[in-house]
Structure 1
Amino acid sequence: MRSILILICLISFSACSGFQPNTTLPDRSNLTYWSNEDEKINVVQQITGNWKGQHFLLQVYLTITLEKMDVIILDSLGRRGMTASWNNDGMTTWKAAWMPDYFNPQYMMWDIATAFWPKELLEEDLDNIWQIKDTGNLREVFYDGDKVSSVIYKNVEDSIWTSIVILQDHSFNYELNIKSREVSQ
């Protein structure tokens, strides 16, 4: 049975000189959706972030099945800020008008893939100019030799879905602390 694969939440790039994310990030539609063979996964994430000295808090709900992944992102007041649905046919997204421009649903999905997809799948979808290095609890993503992403994994128990992930992005100058918990249906 063909595995389509799972992914999940958020942002990763790190230390780059001259990296222009608007022109060098890969087309998000080229990334393959990923899920476990026949397991449904429900995940709740609390994300605290810091971008250019501004702090923010997000609550994320993910449902991942063989057919698709649905993502709902709420702000600290419980308002729905973004949604995304991703399957093998592509991605549909929605963003509330009040959300700042820098919260881009497609970038958020890119960050999910960078942080939570298996290295092998990510490498299949990216051009050769991209390189991914996994060493224990650290993932680094390079573009044309420059490090653009760092993902630090902490407290990974039985599953990546029950962990703490720190994503650092120096091209957009932000850091996210993602606490994930798998929940029952």
Structure 2
Amino acid sequence: MKAVPALLLALFLTACAGVPKPPPGLGDNQAIVAPKTVLTIPPPSAAGRSVELAQSIVAKFYGRSYALDMQIAIGADRLDLVAMDGFGRRAMTVAWKDGAPSIEKAEWLPPVFRPADILASFVIAYWPDDVVATAIKDPAVQVVTKDGVRRISRAGKDLITVTYGPGEGWNRSAVLKNEAFGYEIAIQSAEN
């Protein structure tokens, strides 16, 4: 059961990018994905189907690169994720069952790494447009995927773009660029 999320990498990037600390009252299931833009993590069933994946992720921010290998399994009422660094150390484990995520983070991860940020990047890259739009809950934000590119924009300005490689659904590469916070995540993804 190998898996995915570009999420942990987003956390690395979020920490490095100097993204503002979460405001008081931000829930454990919410992430700031752009200035004044909050995404509430939808339940695993919103993914649209069950899937097991393996992913390799490389994130880039101001000349720094971070690499992770992930395993993820999504079912109608569960999400299981394991993220490992290049040394084989477990960085994070997420088990989402019974309506709430249970998260274990490695002590060596900086405290600003929020699991919700990791999960938000995963949702942005791979879940259906309508699910992403509903999760953002901002009528000014548009989510459109066309010709292999997903754009999340406000007032005609891209906040986040995801460019997909050949293939369909989860079984393809993706490059997520967060224009608002200045980082990029390259994802190689394959279903098991």
Could you tell me the TM-score, scaled by structure 1's length?
Answer: 0.77
Please say if 1:172 is aligned against 2:181: yes
Distance in 1 of aligned mates of 2:175 and 2:39: 24
Q: For structure 1, which runs of at least 5 residues remain unmatched after alignment?
A: 1-7, 13-18
The structure 2 residue matched to 1:10, chosen from 6, 10, 24, is: 6
Per the alignment, do residues 67 and 96 of structure 1 end up closer, same or farther by CA in structure 2, a change over 3 Å counting?
Answer: same
The residue type paired with residue 169 of structure 1 is N
Q: Which residue of 2 aligns with 1:59?
A: 69
The structure 1 residue matched to 2:99, chosen from 65, 89, 96, is: 89
Q: For structure 2, which runs of at least 5 residues remain unmatched after alignment?
A: 11-18, 21-31
Contact preservation (8 Å) 1:32, 1:88: no
The structure 1 residue matched to 2:190, chosen from 159, 181, 184, is: 181
Q: Which residue of 2 aligns with 1:16?
A: none
Per the alignment, do residues 43 and 127 of structure 1 end up closer, same or farther by CA in structure 2, a change over 3 Å counting?
Answer: same
3-state DSSP of counterpart to 2:117: helix
Q: Which residue of 1 aligns with 2:25?
A: none
Q: Which residue of 2 aligns with 1:162?
A: 171
3-state DSSP of counterpart to 1:26: strand
- Once the two structures are superposed, the pairs formed by residues 66-145 of structure 1 within 5 Å of their partners are 66-87=76-97, 89-101=99-111, 103-125=113-135, 126-143=137-154, 145=156
Contact preservation (8 Å) 1:94, 1:105: no
Contact preservation (8 Å) 1:169, 1:175: yes
Q: Which residue of 1 aligns with 2:38?
A: 26
Higher share in helix: 2
Shift of 1:101: 4.5
Distance in 2 of aligned mates of 1:28 and 1:144: 21
Distance in 1 of aligned mates of 2:83 and 2:152: 25
Contact preservation (8 Å) 1:59, 1:75: yes
Contact preservation (8 Å) 1:133, 1:140: yes
3-state DSSP of counterpart to 1:175: strand
Per the alignment, do residues 140 and 110 of structure 1 end up closer, same or farther by CA in structure 2, a change over 3 Å counting?
Answer: same
3-state DSSP of counterpart to 1:128: coil
RMSD: 2.5
Distance in 2 of aligned mates of 1:36 and 1:26: 22
Contact preservation (8 Å) 2:43, 2:99: no
Q: RCO higher in 1 or 2 (8 Å CA, sep ≥ 6)?
A: 1
Distance in 2 of aligned mates of 1:143 and 1:93: 32
Contact preservation (8 Å) 2:37, 2:138: no
Shift of 1:163: 0.7
Per the alignment, do residues 23 and 173 of structure 1 end up closer, same or farther by CA in structure 2, a change over 3 Å counting?
Answer: closer
Q: Structure 1: which 4+ aligned runs deviate by more than 6 Å?
A: none
**Once the two structures are aligned, what percentage of the paired residues are identical?**
22
Could you tell me the TM-score, scaled by structure 2's length?
Answer: 0.74
Aligned residue pairs, count: 165
